[in-house]
Amino acid sequence: MPDADAPDAPATLVSLGLRTEAWMVERVDALPDGAVRFSCPREPIYRWGNLLVVPEAPGPDDLPELEARFDRAFAHLPAVRHRTLTWDDPAGREGAVSAWSAAGYRPDRNTVRILTPNDLRDPPKTPAGFALKRVADDADRRVAADLSAAEPGDEDPDAFRTLQRGRSEFFRARERSAPDLAGGWFLATVDGEPVGTLGLYVRGRLGRYQQVFVAPEHRRAGVASSMVHAAARHGFDEIGAERIVIVAEEGSAADGLYARLGFRAAERWVGVALSDRDARRGRTDPITAR
């Protein structure tokens, strides 16, 4: 059933992952054809902020129709050059994902986990000199954004940095404009050196993590588990959250870390993304992903 603590989401959405994801985008619109559009007009390169949610997993013959529906839904945002689609199925049924993969789309498979105060386990180790602080000013915010942009993977580095800075500005504006949204962005340090960052936002009694990131040279030292644990304690003890949602790539090291901290698997979230619509017509220009 839809969760009453996710007020930004249309009542048609069932998945808790999607309902809390609705907090993290500029607009959420229920469309006449039954789909739901998430959009970030000021961040058109944000693939997982400009996406189309359909009710069910696609069948083997649905690709052309769903591509056309995405293009119609985003016709008013010509700078959105990608296509990202997901389906509102908490069971995570894949449908005809193989057909989308064959057409050049990248499947995205995630585990949606929930934590309660009684579930939370201590991290196996905490680095000496570790601290987690709330991002308090523009300088902290720039440090956190640039830290998140330090590992672009196969993305264009400049575009990825633009995305991270845009996300930072979005959350700063959201914190100011949504009085019912508590929490914020956090910066982890070891002996004063910035080593990691994450967001935790709480509405009512429900929380949601965003963009847990640790600098590569500080991984496997206990930073990630320590900062996720510390943020959870803040959410439960200082804000009054009763449940906190976190989403990670299925089978990833991060997903295993969250399980060890006590996060319980609640849903599976599947989607597909094509980095550039023109790639289906022979062009392969890069575009920044989530």
pLDDT digits (tens, 9 = 90+) for 129-158: 999 999 989 999 999 999 999 888 888 899
Domains detected in the chain: 16-110+269-281 (no CATH), 115-268 (3.40.630.30)
Q: Which residues contact 199 (CB under 8 A, 6 or more apart)?
A: 171, 183, 184, 185, 186, 209, 210, 211
Contact 82, 218 (CB under 8 A): no
Please state the rounded mean pLDDT for residues 79-84.
96
Confidence of residue 3 (pLDDT cuts 50, 70, 90): very low
In sequence order, the β-bridge partners of residue 243 are 206
Strands (E), 9-50: 27-30, 36-39
Whether residue 241 has pLDDT greater than 90: yes
Q: How far apart are CA 147 and CA 140, in angstroms?
A: 10
Confidence of residue 112 (pLDDT cuts 50, 70, 90): very high
- Strands 36-39 and 51-54, sheet pairing: antiparallel
Whether residue 90 has pLDDT greater than 50: yes
| 11-36 pLDDT tens trace | 789 999 999 999 999 999 999 999 99
Please state the rounded mean pLDDT for residues 261-268.
98
| 150-169 pLDDT tens trace | 888 888 899 999 999 999 99
Phi, psi of 121 (to 5 degrees): -110, 150
**What pLDDT sits at residue 67?**
96
Sequence-separated contacts (24+) of 156-163 with Cβ below 8 Å: 156/286, 156/288, 159/45, 159/286, 159/287, 159/288, 160/288, 162/45, 162/288, 163/43, 163/45, 163/46, 163/288
Whether residue 76 has pLDDT greater than 70: yes
Whether residue 255 has pLDDT greater than 60: yes
Please state the rounded mean pLDDT for residues 227-251.
98
Whether residue 289 has pLDDT greater than 50: no
Whether residue 212 has pLDDT greater than 70: yes
In sequence order, the β-bridge partners of residue 184 are 200
- The chain-wide mean pLDDT, for the chain, equals 92
Report the helix count and the strand count for the chain, using DSSP H and E: 7, 11
Amino acid residing at 40: C
**What pLDDT sits at residue 83?**
97
pTM: 0.91
Confidence of residue 278 (pLDDT cuts 50, 70, 90): confident
Q: Mapping DSSP to helix (H, G, I), strand (E, B) and coil, where does residue 267 land?
A: strand
- Strands 106-115 and 130-134, sheet pairing: unpaired
Q: How far apart are CA 258 and CA 274, in angstroms?
A: 28
Question: In this structure, how many other beta carbons lie within 10 angstroms of the beta carbon of residue 125?
Answer: 12
* Among 147, 289, 269, residue whose Cα is nearest residue 208: 269
Q: Mapping DSSP to helix (H, G, I), strand (E, B) and coil, where does residue 26 land?
A: coil
Q: How far apart are CA 169 and CA 142, in angstroms?
A: 10
Whether residue 8 has pLDDT greater than 80: no
CA 29 to the chain's CA centroid? 18
* Helices assigned H by DSSP within the chain: 16-21, 63-73, 97-102, 138-148, 157-177, 223-234, 253-260
